[in-house]
Amino acid sequence: MKKKTPYEFLLDGHEYIELNQLLKVVGLVNSGGEANAFISNGEVRVNDTIETRKRNKIKTGFKVEFDGQILLVK
């Protein structure tokens, strides 16, 4: 089994980014609406827990998993 390589996302001085915006900004989805649908369907994990809050505030140290990708927020 191939190990997933995590990608780092830098908040660049911001306190947080909303989950649906993060998925859009990094290019894992094409639109905010698409991100909202995946989140509502329970297809996104934050810190190893299924997350259904579209605007969950993702902060430094969080891990987001979606569609076989891992994002580490720095």
Tell how strand 7-9 and strand 69-73 pair up: parallel
Q: What is the mean pLDDT of the chain?
A: 94
Cβ neighbours of 73 (radius 10 Å): 18
Instruction: Output the pTM of the full model.
Output: 0.90
| pLDDT score of 29 more than 90 | yes
The phi-psi region of residue 27 (left if phi > 0; otherwise alpha if psi is between -120 and 50; otherwise beta) is left
Q: What are the structure tokens assigned to 32, written together? A: 């905010």
